[in-house]
Structure 1
Amino acid sequence: MGPQMLPEQDLYDSCQNVAQRGQMATNNLTLELHTSITRIVMYQVFSTTAWNLWTRCFELIKLKRKDLTIDPSKVNTAFGKYLYNETLLIKDSHGCFEVFLSNHKGWQQKVDKGLKEADLHSNQYKIYPQPDMPGCDCFFWMLLWLALLKHIHYNDKLKPDNFLFPAIGSNGIVHHGEHISHDTVQAWVNEATTSAGDSFTTCTCHCGRAQWHWMLARVRWWGSWAENENHDILIQYLLNELSTYKNNHSNALCPTQNEADGFLLGKHQLVKPACSQDLQLMQQFIIVDVADLQSDICFLTNTLISSKNGPPSSTLVHQPLQHPLCSTFLPCKSPTLIPQQTVSAPNNTGSMNFGSHPLPKKGLDIPNLPIQCTDGSYAPKKDSWRYIIQHWTEADPRHGLHVALQDWPAVWLKGKNKAIFSSKYHQHALVTLEFLEQ
């Protein structure tokens, strides 16, 4: 909402055309469309910038092109996707540009104190894409406005000292050396809010974009203080210059936050990057699960094929190419189907068909922990990890383990045995891997 608007599609098409084609696209603009585009986009970029940076009117109207630091390699991809209505990737949403508020509240007081004070970054802000909030997306509106300002009003010669919000005459002509007035901004606000059935002042922008989930330290840094405000009073509850020296929250709008104290309710935990150890552990479990799934699917497929087409005396037995533990280090290869003669059918005792990997004569077992000693006592729990490593690499017939776990073929962990041994087997594998990596 804002200055009286043309049909939305006409406005969008015109802005897109100018941003993509440059000055050539302005030749066909009528005076009405030229003026409407200027007023509407200027209002949008002014309001979204004020909303995001908590600026007052007199601070923002003096903003110049040199106050923006824009790296085209970081923003062009995201801006291009905006123009073509494409979805931004995660890496696109981390491109940003910086805004330096040279007329920020109290900044001149710091400069007067010397260069050490002037080195502070309390008035530099990084602006990131916010495609989920188009009405507040300063990233898009600022880049669009720069393109329109350059091609429509400055004839492709936007200089560092040019105002970003220049005064505009009734005929749509820009006054290059003069910025818009406070009264003009107030008129915009009145026009926008009248249609909404309420009344606001330009001070409202200073309270906008207040992140309810930010900690006070970030709010204090982001908000700073205004000219002519009593510093001795405000410092008691909001301002602490020491916080400004030690902390820099210019990156507060970044979609991925690393700071542990940046948000209330632990929201930062949901968006922080995963560490390498977490990803490796997740990969190990995924690969093992996929290998199990492949084996099960092949077993079922072979059973169906053999029951349909195969002779009664033969079937296709699934032979995994590698041990499940190996798949945690190497890419999982596709299993092969090897025609073989079947082992004798199950007898009345319910023994299973394990193809070319018959069970040990004394059966399968994975000893429980802690290990029971010969005298009936149990080994200390703190030594259980030693038995886990031992059972992985060596057999332990005395406790029922006749084949070392690392030598178990995958087929022994299928069928009925999967429910009995699978969980315990993978726990042993995980502990062993962690030990070997150390």
Structure 2
Amino acid sequence: MTTTPRRSSRTSRTGVASNAPPKSAVPSGRTAKRTGSKKAQKPAAKAAQKSTSSNLPSASSLLNNSQQTTDDWYKSPRTKKGYANYVKSGKSWLVDWTAEDRLDDEISFDAFDVITAETPLALRALTAYKCEHLERGFASAEGLRSAFKDYFERVCGCQGEFWRYNDHTKKWEGNPVHESNFKAYYESLKNRHNRTGTATQALPMLPSDLKIIMAYLDSEEAITYFTLTQRLYFKAFVTTAFTLWTRNDELINLQFKDIKFDQRSKTGIPYHEFSLIFRKTNKDPTKVQIYKVQADLAHPEIDCYTHTSTWKLHMEGLLGRPLSGGDYVFPAIASTGKLKFGECTSRSAFETLLETVVEKSNVMQGRNGKFTTHCFRRGGAQYRFLWAERKWSLKAVKWWGGWSSNENVGTLMRYLLDELMAYEEGFSDIMMDDRVVDRHETFMGEDESAPLCKADLVRLEGTLLAKLQGLIEKSSSSAGVLPVPSLSTQTHSRTRSKTPSAVPPRQPSPTPEPIQYTPQPTRIPETNTLDDALQYWEHGCPQKGLTVALKHWSQQFKSSDYAKEAVKLGNIRFVCEELITHYGRDFVAFEAKYPGLRRKFTMLMKAVRAERKIRGDTKSRNRRK
């Protein structure tokens, strides 16, 4: 057996011995550096990759973030609150009716929580109760359907535009609002509303309407019923909404930092400069729309300049300080008629005030329809486009109203033109010879049958003379002859000259004189914690309208001046005295006596009152018989 010799590591595969050392034995300098750098880079790369992967969010956190964004921004807070009220009241109604056996065991009390075949039956019964028994309008049915559809989708997981039973899973699938019987009933309510309902058109509020309202607010009846604050508040609100064509949400969030008062133009005309951000068609905070508004003394019912100036002076008189940029222009009004500084008003609050003023002023007497918070925007746009002495172009209307540049012209024209014109101004007798000619029925308002008057002849004479003068000057200049004197100077003095006379400069409108106000105690802000009570008692809270500390009220004001705030003042006083006088500002001892109540002022107040009774520090009053 022949033994194969072992190949030496120094011998090549071809059998030729190699004198060079192996690469692994004697590496070159470049190879060694490259190998070392690779070995050093591997741990660093692994560490970087590990740190990067550790900073990445998990899938569950990403889903939670997306759900949070959806909850915050998919629907407005107002819509979510309305939906929640519909669902809450619907569940309460179902529990009450099933407890009284009014549904004959056909529907269980938890039909809105456990999705079964009873769920659409319960929803149909609830809708029938609202629309048939309580005789509510179709809007109630529409609100119920929208609210429960959203509730079934988000809370109960009912997805899909259908409603069917799955024989395999033995469960109902889809959304209960798509059940056939409920859909048929809902469409029937809509048809009944469209065919038998009385349309209450939302009217535009025009200057003629505002003139009636302003006259009423200055009457003795309004002075008796409304406070001065409410009347000045309403005047400033409606004139600003009418002038700027603001939507309700845009105006109630307006702050004084958005208004520059008493500015001057190049010719010296005073004006206020309003800055509006986040109009309905603008979501970019860097895009600000500027509105310059001067006084309109000829039309005081729409004079935004004067009414906002008066309102500003009134608020400063109530606060006893200049207004800051963070103060709301139209803060909320309490039931006592006093302002809630630091809190903007709500849509429903102003709607209530508007309905009261409209009803008492009788501005709607003999008319159909209603005024909503949108009436000022629509009325202001129609006035400037159709009725004002200086009418605006459609381009100016689109810019001033904050409409998108892509807004359809047809949609905008339907918005501007009064839809009630079809009912109030008909043309059924337009072919009758005895019809009084109206400016709307001829092109550009021309009336060919009207006889000529002296003014028409004077205008015709001036036009012909002007054209003749132009022809003479043209022919004279081409022939090299000096132009002849103007024929207009040889005509009767009543003929208009070709060159218009200089327009006298417009006098600047006078600014309203400052009004002197007697300092009055303001409304005490809402007290939620012990810290709130201490601040109000010792320092006040100017940003919320409380400029005078409560401990000084008895010295600076008469008790009759703050009679409506006396209960809140007394509650804050004896709680603060308990801490300051009885416990010597020892918060530790006070907390030990009243544990966990520092942020619960109502419960703290009751506990302090009970303790004072035990100590005999309070005097009991005899109850009236």
The structure with higher relative contact order (CA 8 Å, sep 6+) is: 1
What range describes the TM-score normalised by the shorter chain of this pair? 0.3 to 0.5
Larger Rg: 2
TM-score (norm 1): 0.40
TM-score (norm 2): 0.29
